Amino acid sequence: MNLILKKDHLNHLLNAWRQEYEVYAPQSLQNFTHFLPLQDGFELAFDKAHNTRIPPKALFLPTSEALLKFTRFGGYEEVPSETAPRLIFGIRPCDAHAMTMLDTVFEQERYTDPLWKARREATVVVGLGCHEPCQTGFCTTVGSGPFNHAGLDAILTDLGEIFLVETLTEKGEHLFTQLETASEDQSMHASEVQQAAAASMPIAFETEGLKQKLDQNFASPYWEEVSRSCLGCGVCTFLCPTCFCFDIVDEAQRGERVRNWDTCMFRTYSLEASGHNPRPSRVERTRQRLSHKYSYWLDQINQIGCTGCGRCVRYCPVGLDIRAMLRKAHQLPSEVLHA
Amino acid sequence: MPNEGRSPYLPIPMHVLHAYYESTDNSLKTLELSFDDPQDAREFFAAFNPGQFCLLSVIGKGESALGVASAAWEGDFVRFTAQKLGSVTTALHALKPGDPVGMRGPLGNGFPLAEWKGKNLVIIGGGCAFSTLYALTKHLHHPSHRGDYGKLTVIYGTRTSGLCMYKQDIAAWHQRDDMEVHQAIDVPEQNWLHHVGYVPDVVKEVRPSPVNSVAVVCGPPIMTKFTLPALVELGFAPETIFTSLEKRMKCGVGKCGRCNLGPKYICKDGPVFSLAELNALPADL
């Protein structure tokens, strides 16, 4: 159902939600925007940047969290999964879409991650579509879009003085019971805005046949060429909404077994105790990163493992651009190359 | 073992039943672990299949992935042999009977034993990777399993005789009339009555027949690399050659990401793969 939310009514609504939920929305902190819990007198930061620097996956898979607490004499106990109701407001469709992909990792049939699942179930997600898409984003290229519905309970379209609200799930409907229904004209206007936004985004690279190119060129010098300027800092993966790798370490002094975000761009990620490393240099590590997103995810869930949020492009310290890397991959020969 | 709401990161509480050195240089130590809670033992053995592995925890040190080296019929304990290499395996080596230890598992697929019924089995191992093959051989030795399979051939090579694991059992295997055992060491030693040479060469010498047979290979990467083509040369089809892979692991349940081989996770989809499956995956090992 389409509803109308007046912009000057937004803070009132957010405050009303705060009675029932812990509400997270983009706010400024140290030059960047972050999803932070709303406090009294909050100021939203929607105009500054489209995406928060750290993707909202961090609200479900924190950068660091305890899995076990150690007790005395070599014992241990599970850390209970948190279940307080939460609402994320203003998440962008690329980030929400990414979360549905991570669900396939953390909520797979045989092994469910209880921490992830509890947080997902306790959270309502309200999206804000991108009526002015960002320059680094390429969501329409990879099967997402500036008004994609995946992973959202409701989505807002900015129409100047008002937001048009589309509720997408029961959870979402429950949030907006007080609003008036949108007129046909308003719904039409929103749909025009949505289509214009998607149409304004150029296709960044050809995805058709890209997987096959990457698979067939596993041993190609291409990987050496595209990874040459990489510093191996890992920012592209840390800030990626579909990256989920983590490390598990025992913090003996804190008495905890902790999981921390980890990245395939680090040497120690795949380094084995024997000293052998299947991905000894940035060449193999870059290959793993790109192949995971543009080949392996397709094998696993038949979706590209990238929603085109553009963070890896925006934050790479040496300006490596995944769009350019993939355009180049498309020029590779199709025949199988042997090492 | 599906976790059914339980955290897949929560180890089963175990304690050390027996701990003894397996090799003369003390680099390999075997731990036999017993369950603190008999219910855990029932659940473990209901899910266990030879070829699976577990993550052993020394609290405060971390976790290490180790293949299970015992068969279910041996008793309510789980055996592992750890090579002392990093901080966790060093801590495992320091454990004494009665010490607590955590265990997550059984993890992974294990050997496709149902698929192998009625076939001759050629079991080829090298070094400490022989542990899961030892579990497999023990499993097959049980009277209720042995009849399900044909001829059983074991080829096991180590660098020196001192590094050979499970010595007493293997010595007894030579006396059995329902199996053929070939042991090898890399360089000659006095009083060594078996093969001398690398495992791939011993395989070529023994020439196991590919007729109605499957081969299982577990060893260091260099051994596997040369043994697989040797088997293909002997006429084994890629669908009948199996190997168990290893990579660095953390979660063991297909989430932490690092043990992937293309779209497959060694922990969850493996560790046992056929050569036919491996041929379709990128060479990212």
**A37 in a domain, yes or no?**
yes
Helix then strand then coil, in percent of chain B rounded to 5, is: 30, 30, 40
**B255 in a domain, yes or no?**
no
Single out the residue of A243, A232, A224 nearest to residue A284, CA to CA.
A224
The pLDDT-based confidence of A49 (bands split at 50, 70, 90) is low
Nearest residue of chain A to residue B13 (CA atoms): A75
Which one of B60, B91, B107 terminates a domain?
Answer: B107
Chain B residues whose beta carbon lies within 8 Å of the beta carbon of residue A105: 254-255
Give the bridge partners for B127, in sequence order.
none
Interface of A with B in 4-23 (CB under 8 A): none
Q: How close is the nearest chain A Cα to the Cα of B247, in Å?
A: 7
- Is A178 found in the same domain as A232? no
Which one of B58, B76, B107 terminates a domain?
Answer: B107
Any chain B CB within 8 A of the CB of A286?
no
**A338 in a domain, yes or no?**
no
Which residue in A245, A270, A299 is closest to B247 by CB distance? A270
Chain A residues whose beta carbon lies within 8 Å of the beta carbon of residue B255: 105-106, 111, 113, 244, 246
* Cα B2 to the center of its chain, rounded Å: 21
- Is B122 found in the same domain as B86? no
Residue A337 has pLDDT above 90, yes or no: no
Any chain B CB within 8 A of the CB of A30?
no
Which one of A146, A169, A199 terminates a domain?
Answer: A199
ipTM over 0.95 threshold: no
Any chain A CB within 8 A of the CB of B255?
yes
- Is A219 found in the same domain as A124? no
- Is A215 found in the same domain as A183? no
- Is B83 found in the same domain as B57? yes
- Is A256 found in the same domain as A145? no
Q: What is the mean pLDDT of residues A180-207?
A: 95
Q: List chain B pLDDT tens, one digit each, 285 residues.
A: 555 567 899 999 999 999 999 999 999 999 999 999 999 999 999 999 999 999 999 999 999 999 999 999 999 999 999 999 999 999 999 999 999 999 999 999 999 999 999 999 999 999 999 999 999 999 999 999 999 999 999 999 999 999 999 999 999 999 999 999 999 999 999 999 999 999 999 999 999 999 999 999 999 989 999 999 999 999 999 999 999 999 999 999 999 999 999 999 999 999 999 999 999 999 888
- pLDDT for B3 equals 54
Which residue in A68, A111, A276 is closest to B253 by CB distance? A111
Chain B residues whose beta carbon lies within 8 Å of the beta carbon of residue A111: 2-3, 8, 253-255, 268
* Cα B169 to the center of its chain, rounded Å: 16
- Is A176 found in the same domain as A61? yes
- pLDDT for B285 equals 85
- Is B212 found in the same domain as B124? yes
| Token digits of residue B214 | 């499957």
| Token digits of residue A147 | 């008004």
Q: What is the mean pLDDT of residues A288-311?
A: 96
Q: Which position has the higher pLDDT, A47 or B164?
A: B164
Cβ pair A279:B260 closer than 8 A:
no
Which one of B78, B107, B136 terminates a domain?
Answer: B107
Cβ pair B13:A276 closer than 8 A:
no
- Is A258 found in the same domain as A182? no
- Is A287 found in the same domain as A159? no
Cβ pair A111:B250 closer than 8 A:
no
Any chain B CB within 8 A of the CB of A76?
yes
* Domain residue limits at B126: 113-244
- Is B207 found in the same domain as B132? yes
- Is A156 found in the same domain as A31? yes
- Is B221 found in the same domain as B123? yes
Give the bridge partners for A28, in sequence order.
A33
- pLDDT for B49 equals 96
The pLDDT-based confidence of A339 (bands split at 50, 70, 90) is very low
Choose, out of B1, B258, B269, the residue to mutate when testing the contact with A (most A CBs < 10 Å): B258
pLDDT above 70 covers a percentage of chain A that reads 98
Any chain B CB within 8 A of the CB of A106?
yes
Any chain B CB within 8 A of the CB of A78?
yes
Beta-carbon contacts below 8 Å between A and B = 124
Any chain B CB within 8 A of the CB of A72?
no
Any chain A CB within 8 A of the CB of B277?
no
- How many domains does chain B divide into? 2
Interface of A with B in 297-316 (CB under 8 A): 297, 299-300
**B2 in a domain, yes or no?**
no
- B15: how many CB neighbours lie within 10 A of its CB? 15
Any chain A CB within 8 A of the CB of B94?
no
DSSP-derived letter for residue B11 is: P
pLDDT above 90 covers a percentage of chain A that reads 87
Q: How close is the nearest chain B Cα to the Cα of A147, in Å?
A: 29
Q: What is the mean pLDDT of residues A290-298?
A: 97
The Cα–Cα gap between B230 and B17 comes to 40
Name the residue with tokens 């698979």: A215
- Cβ neighbors of A129 (< 8 A, separation 6 or more) are A92, A93, A146, A147, A155, A156, A157, A158, A194, A197
- Cβ neighbors of A86 (< 8 A, separation 6 or more) are A21, A22, A23, A24, A59, A119, A122, A123, A124
- Is A162 found in the same domain as A310? no
Determine which helix (DSSP H) or strand (DSSP E) holds B137, and give its type and residue range: helix B131-141
Residue A189 has pLDDT above 70, yes or no: yes
- pLDDT for A196 equals 96
- Is A306 found in the same domain as A239? yes
- Is B124 found in the same domain as B50? no
Determine which helix (DSSP H) or strand (DSSP E) holds B213, and give its type and residue range: strand B213-218
What's chain A's average pLDDT?
Answer: 93
What CATH number corresponds to the domain at position B159? 3.40.50.80
* Domain residue limits at A116: 2-199
- Is B139 found in the same domain as B225? yes
- How many domains does chain A divide into? 2
* Cβ pair B68, B53 in contact under 8 A: yes
The Cα–Cα gap between B283 and A278 comes to 9
What CATH number corresponds to the domain at position B89? 2.40.30.10
The Cα–Cα gap between A100 and A305 comes to 11
**A324 in a domain, yes or no?**
yes
Q: How close is the nearest chain A Cα to the Cα of B58, in Å?
A: 8
Q: How close is the nearest chain B Cα to the Cα of A24, in Å?
A: 26
Any chain A CB within 8 A of the CB of B263?
yes
Cβ pair A114:B251 closer than 8 A:
no
Strands of the sheet with A32-37, listed across from one edge: A32-37, A22-29, A86-91, A123-128, A154-158, A162-167, A2-6, A180-181
Q: Which position has the higher pLDDT, B273 or A108?
A: B273
DSSP three-state, residue B239 = helix
